[in-house]
A and B are shown apart, each in its own frame.
With several copies, the nearest count.
Chain A
Amino acid sequence: MIRILVTTDAIDIAAEQVSLEQGGAVATFTGLVRADDGVATLELEHYPGATEAALLRLAEQAVARWSLSAATIVHRVGPMHPGERIVFTGAASAHRAAALEACAFLIDRLKTDAPFWKREVVAGKGRWVEARESDDHAADRWR
């Protein structure tokens, strides 16, 4: 079962976990908005339609590569605040190595392959977050 959700609502971890609990092993990753350098608000822009298609493609690749019983990607968009959940990836499989690897694959590749853009508001001023080379390297190890 694949579940893709792009939403302005808070991410409900408990519900996502329960829907993943198929097979013997579930691995999840949750990214939170950090309060680095006084960030008050983080705004997430995305490319409607293309985003969902990109996430679905990633989830399908993970399911095929690791024979997953379930894969979930939830990404929040719009304005959010430090401590809130921005992204959730989850993978379920019969065995733990597959679930753990697939979960890491989903978040690493999401960082480079899905059209989201972060804008930080610090002291009332907005600035677009720069892409990081380390994210390209992390994504490359799955190619």
Chain B
Amino acid sequence: MQLLYFAWVRERIGMGGEEVSPPEAVETVADLVAWLSSRSDGHAAAFAKPARLRAAVDQAFVPLDTRIAGAREIAIFPPVTGG
């Protein structure tokens, strides 16, 4: 699945996105975030406080306990600050 990162999540990880294939045990967005944290120091820094993260699955905002089976694009980012 395609991952996208925005704002300080993107900055800390050091890239705008990546293609990943998480194991079956990774069932929700929260699971995904925990699993990604071990990939690099940047991932660990970006995902240290999951309460500060928001996510979109296939471009729709979702809570972090949303299941990710079948998702093609998952975006992880801080709370939005537009307008």
Contacts and interface: CB of A to CB of B under 8 A. Distances in A.
Interface stretch (B24-32, B63-71, B72-80): B72-80
B12 to A, nearest CB: 11
B59 A50 contact: yes
B59 A49 contact: yes
B80 A117 contact: yes
A92 to B, nearest CB: 16
A44 B10 CA distance: 14
B82 interface: yes
A116 B56 CA distance: 13
Contacts of B61: 54, 113, 115
Contact of A117 (B4, B56, B59, B81): B81
Contact of B7 (A86, A114, A119): A119
A50 B75 contact: yes
A79 interface: no
A129 B61 CA distance: 20
A53 interface: yes
A53 B56 CA distance: 12
A128 B56 contact: no
B77 A114 contact: no
Interface string A109-140: 01111111111000000001111100100000
B23 interface: no
